[in-house]
Amino acid sequence: MEVYTARAMPIYEYVCMECETHFEELVRNGEQPDCPDCGAANVRKQFSVFAAHGTAAESTFSGGAGGGCCGGSCGCG
């Protein structure tokens, strides 16, 4: 029996290019999941964004990236 660890089966964030649903999926061996809402295979892997800490005077998020459902990083905008 093969044991899968978090290292062997990472969780990736995806966006569906058909219905713009954002979801996370546990994947193995480079598999590409289908959208859980509409079933489309046209999904794109997203970059994870982590929170940044700063002082009140510092802006940690520009907020003006624009472009589609996720700021344009998936190519939807």
Q: How many domains would you assign to the chain? A: 1
Is position 23 within any domain? Answer: yes
What is the C-alpha to C-alpha distance for residues 40 and 36, in angstroms, rounded to an integer?
8
Query: pTM score, two decimals?
Result: 0.54
As a residue count, the chain comes to 77
Q: Is 21 a member of any domain?
A: yes
Torsion sign (Cα): 22, 34, 42, 50:
positive
CATH code at position 43? 2.20.28
pLDDT tens for each residue of 10-39: 888 999 999 999 999 988 887 899 999 999
pLDDT given for residue 76 in this prediction: 61
45: phi then psi, degrees, rounded to nearest 5: -75, 140
